[in-house]
Amino acid sequence: MLSIPEINELKLFLESPKNISIVCHRNPDGDAMGSSLAVQHALEQLGHTITCITPNEHPNFLAWLPKADAAIAFERESEKAIPILENSDLIFTLDFNALHRTGEIMQKTLEQLTVPMIMIDHHQLPDPYAKYTFSDVNYGSTCEMVYDFINALGYNHLINKDVATCIYTGILTDTGGFRFPKTTPETHRCVAELIERGVNNSEIYNLLYDNSSYNRLQLLGRALQNLKILPEYNASYIALSQEDLDTFHYEKGDTEGIVNYGLTIKGVHVTAIFIENKEEGIVKISFRSQGDFDVNQFARTHFNGGGHINAAGGKSFSSLQETINQFIAILAQENN
Ligand code: 5GP
Ligand code: MN
């Protein structure tokens, strides 16, 4: 948590109406959108003018979140977003640890600003760009940190149904449905209170996970067909080519969660999904592991990425096949 003097300073600052922007990482997930919108719904009750600015579009499966439709996608509407950022009195940067996580385009704008920032984030090795840094890898989600942050400010009464719904969404998605190891008694105590504040937990589950298009399920089928096992390294991987994506009319968010299937095989401790993106000229990669295999380190060292010990991501500028070959070669090397 922030220090007591920092909390007091922020409370004083929030006593009169301010212009506040909220920024999350590129390709926002449930935790990024949930934490951003939770802060917005909470602090708007104090009379502040608040804008959520996502680097690129949020996926459709999160569009139902309260006020998600009011968020500005920087890469689509930078003329609108830049003056809002410049005229902010404070910028929240949520669910990321380094400005480059907002993507090359938005990063440049953020780096030039003189506006004070606050970071709330649970990734390793936070960059020192923020005036206030609440960074803690022991949390399973940024949303749970936002809950503690709101309480530390003495704003528990601001946690209404909208705030609670946004926080619940990020906790649910980032803990993999309360199953990842960082799901603590505190997480469940927090969630209990969120349900008391009006969260409809079964509806949220349905909105997130029972809302697939037929094409998305067919794409999942293709992904599972493409799954390969590397028993000698206790590893598996899935590749999706641009052609696979096009065949099933890929939409943003359609590949969310597919990587986890690779870990459900007995004996597999590390897995990856390689997704070709011809438009951006990259292969986007997600890594997942169980136990000691540190995919954050793996992604940082070899694939221009990072994340957490058991869940990380990165990208490659090589072809899909070259990227896969590289992955296998690194595993071979590390197993020697
Ligand atoms: P996912 O695989 O679900 O996209 O991401 C898993 C975790 O890794 C998340 O915490 C996410 O923020 C992080 N992550 C994903 N892609 C990247 C990346 O390209 N760079 C870094 N530094 N972290 C990433
Ligand atoms: Mn997160």
pLDDT beyond 90 at 336: no
CA-nearest of 131, 312, 135, 334 to 234 is 334
The model's pLDDT over 155-175, given as tens digits with 9 standing for 90+, comes to: 999 999 999 999 999 999 999
Structure tokens at 114: 């003189």
Pocket test for ligand 1, best of 23, 24, 25, 127 (most atoms within 8 A of CB): 25
Residue-range domain boundaries for the chain: 4-208, 214-334
Instruction: Report the CATH architecture of 214-334.
Output: Roll (3.10)
Ligand positioned closest to the Cα atom of 173: 2
Pocket test for ligand 1, best of 270, 286, 301 (most atoms within 8 A of CB): 286
User: Which whole number is the average pLDDT over 246-262?
Assistant: 96
Top-level class of domain 4-208: alpha beta
The answer to whether the CB of 313 is under 6 A from ligand 1 is: yes
> What angle (nearest 5°) sits at the alpha carbon of residue 122, between those of residues 117 and 128?
40
Ligand positioned closest to the Cα atom of 253: 1
Taking the CB of residue 60, how many other CB atoms lie within 10 A of it? 14
Q: What is the pLDDT of residue 165?
A: 98
Taking the CB of residue 202, how many other CB atoms lie within 10 A of it? 9
The model's pLDDT over 77-133, given as tens digits with 9 standing for 90+, comes to: 999 999 999 999 999 999 999 999 999 999 999 999 999 999 999 999 999 999 999
The answer to whether the CB of 315 is under 6 A from ligand 1 is: yes
ipTM for the whole predicted complex goes beyond 0.95: yes
Alpha-carbon span 148 to 250, nearest angstrom: 37
Going by CA atoms, what residue is nearest to atom 19 of ligand 1? 314
The model's pLDDT over 25-84, given as tens digits with 9 standing for 90+, comes to: 999 999 999 999 999 999 999 999 999 999 999 999 999 999 999 999 999 999 999 999
pLDDT beyond 90 at 335: no
> How remote is the CA of residue 312 from the centroid of ligand 2, in Å?
11
pLDDT beyond 90 at 281: yes
The answer to whether the CB of 140 is under 6 A from ligand 1 is: no
Pocket test for ligand 1, best of 24, 62, 100, 123 (most atoms within 8 A of CB): 123
Going by CA atoms, what residue is nearest to atom 12 of ligand 1? 307
In terms of Cβ atoms closer than 10 Å to its own Cβ (0-12, 13-18, 19+), residue 205 is middle
